[in-house]
Amino acid sequence: MVDILKFQSITSTQPLIRNPNIFEIFNMNCSESSFLMIRERSCFQLDNGTFIVKIGLINNLNCLLEFLKQQQQKQIKTSGKLTYEFLRLNLPGSLSHLSLLNSLISSSNSRISEGEFRFDQLQKHFDSLNVQYAFGSEDYTGIVKRIKYDSTTNAFTGFPSLLDRGVPIKSYYQTDSFDTLKSWFNSIDKASLLNVHMIQPVQSTYNSSIPSPYLLSAYGIDNIATANDILQRWWYILFNQSLQRNVRIIGFSSDADPKYLPAMRLMSGFLGALPNFQVHQYPQAFQIKIRSHWSWFYLGEQQLLLFFQDPTHLVTKWRNRLLSATAELCLGNQSISINYLHDIIENDTYSKLDHGLSKSDINPKYRQNFSSCLKLTSNDLFNILNATADTRGTLLYFQVLKMIIVAYIEKTTTIVESEYLCTLDYI
């Protein structure tokens, strides 16, 4: 392969991607000795005199081209256009021009329009992975408010998506009228949140590698959707579309947002139910074998979907509850307070080597700081809290935090150990 590229003076990725058919030269009549030697090693000669390139070389070239395209697209997505262009100019021949990458992205169906659910592409992705089961995830994040024109859909993006039974209407903001556009700007607030749907294929028993997640849809919202909208949207994703394409969504994952949590409770029948909608009677529902001594487990044995919260959010929310200025936590007659940790840090009896804490750990500016949660579960801190009777409630609070981390996050924890720790958490 290297000799073929050198013979054609292909010394960088850009000419290779622009002209991937590097084997065309073998159909030429050339008597140069180096060319004949390369052709002899790379091709089979048929009885009629034509040359066929060996299949191994073709596969290697296709893999190389696909790898180069993916890496360059990944580079521009993670680093941004300015950083990518800076690297391209300072590393001549190593990276392709942005215009070429844009054409590759457009031709590879990796471009997504606001409010579009890419179910057909999802089916192709699952067929290529040879998997059927998947987990869905939905969450939103804050974005910079701005309106943009999408030339591919002839629509304006950045307004809150209008929902029809919980599902966004694609390309709703289309108009050729300046007055209509002006009216939208004057009467409709810009979307402050971006709602994202991800699909995680479940690993096949015949494949040891974990498949990468798939971006199903993304669109702007204004956070006025109800739990009923979320239920109808999940139903649309699960039954109306995915099952028709032989993709079984076995559950959804999201944080415990006040709107997502009621939807999860109603769908799973956890201390609530949909009166005219018996979701557990569908043939796709599966059976959960619950242990007889789990009197604290209130979920029914028939479930259509499973629901999980991001364990990192679970840990940080457990810690953040302790930081609340209004919540008063008690265990029996003992208070659970972050002030005990302040006292330990300010106490001259202890140094940072004894407890490993700093003020930023017990009052982080970024409330999703996971590393500070780990410091609250150290054995050294537990020993200090255990030495004083008044801090036993806070000690137990942090011990439960450690069990959550071990059960849900640490990869070395076995399923049996996780089950045991979860049981202790409920007790």
Q: What percent of the chain has pLDDT over 70?
A: 82
Ranking 30-39, 100-109, 168-177, 206-215 by mean pLDDT, the lowest is 100-109
* Nearest 10 degrees: Cα torsion 109, 192, 231, 164: -70
> Is 94 a residue whose pLDDT tops 60?
no
φ/ψ of residue 216, rounded to 5:
-85, -45
Mean predicted confidence (pLDDT) in 306-323 = 83
Identify the H or E element spanning 307.
strand 306-308
Question: What's residue 278's pLDDT?
Answer: 72
Question: CA 418, 419, 422, 424: dihedral to nearest 10 degrees?
Answer: -110
DSSP code per residue over 292-304? TT-TT----SEES
Per-residue pLDDT, 100: 62
pLDDT at 425: 54
Block residue for tokens 């844009």 = 102
Residue 146: partners with Cβ closer than 8 Å, 6 or more residues away? 158, 190
Position with higher pLDDT, 259 vs 177: 177
Distance between start and end Cα atoms, the chain:
64
- Higher per-residue pLDDT: 84 or 286: 286
* pLDDT beyond 90 at 173: yes
Q: CB of 380 within 8 A of CB of 357?
A: no
Distances from the Cα of 31 to the Cα of 37, 38, 94, 348, angstroms: 10, 12, 32, 87
Reference 162, options 111, 222, 119; nearest CA is 222
Can you tell me the distance from the alpha carbon of 61 to that of 51, in angstroms, rounded to the nearest whole number? 18
* CA gap 122, 111 in Å, rounded: 13
Helix and strand counts by DSSP (H, E) for the chain: 18, 15
Torsion of CA 139, 145, 148, 152, to 10 degrees: 0
User: H/E element holding 43?
Assistant: strand 43-45
- Binned at pLDDT 50, 70 and 90, residue 129 comes out as confident
Residue 322 above 90 pLDDT?
A: no
Per-residue pLDDT band for 150 (boundaries 50, 70, 90) equals confident
| Mean pLDDT, all residues of the chain | 80
Rounded Cα distance, 88 and 253, in Å: 39
Burial of 293 (0-12, 13-18, 19+ CB in 10 A): exposed
pLDDT for position 160:
93
Please classify residue 118 by burial: count the beta carbons closer than 10 Å to its beta carbon, then call 0-12 exposed, 13-18 middle and 19+ buried.
Answer: buried
The average pLDDT across 157-178 equals: 91
119 pLDDT band, cuts 50/70/90, is very high
Q: Measured on CA atoms in the order 74, 11, 22, 53, is the torsion positive or negative?
A: negative
Q: How high is the pLDDT of residue 117?
A: 93
Q: What is the torsional sign of CA 261, 267, 268, 271?
A: positive
Q: How large is the average pLDDT for residues 2-21?
A: 67
* Predicted local distance difference test score (pLDDT) of residue 186: 92
Query: pTM, whole model, 2 decimals?
Result: 0.66
Per-residue model confidence as pLDDT tens digits over 352-389: 888 888 888 877 777 778 888 888 888 888 998 888 88
For the segment 187-203, the average pLDDT, to the nearest whole number, is: 91
Query: Does the pLDDT of residue 159 top 90, yes or no?
Result: yes
CB contact at 8 A, 138 and 252: yes
What pLDDT is recorded for position 123?
92
- Greater model confidence, 277 or 396: 396
Residue 372 · residue 361 · CB < 8 Å: yes
Helix (H) or strand (E) holding 215: strand 214-221
75 pLDDT band, cuts 50/70/90, is: low
Window from 1-10, 44-53, 220-229, 406-415 with minimum mean pLDDT = 1-10
Calpha distance 215→77 (Å, rounded): 14
Tell me the mean pLDDT in the region 34-59: 78
Task: Give the pLDDT confidence score for residue 79 in this predicted structure.
Answer: 57
User: Is a pLDDT exceeding 90 seen at residue 337?
Assistant: no
Residue type, 222: D
Cβ–Cβ under 8 Å, residues 176 and 156: no
Q: How far is CA 95 from the centre of its chain?
A: 27
Amino acid letter for position 401: L
Phi, psi of 247 (to 5 degrees): -115, 120
pLDDT digits (tens, 9 = 90+) for 200-256: 998 877 777 778 888 999 999 988 888 889 888 988 988 789 989 999 998 888 776
Q: Of how many residues is the chain composed?
A: 427
Task: Give the pLDDT of residue 4.
Answer: 73
Residue-wise pLDDT for 255-280, tens only, equals 767 788 888 888 887 777 777 767 77
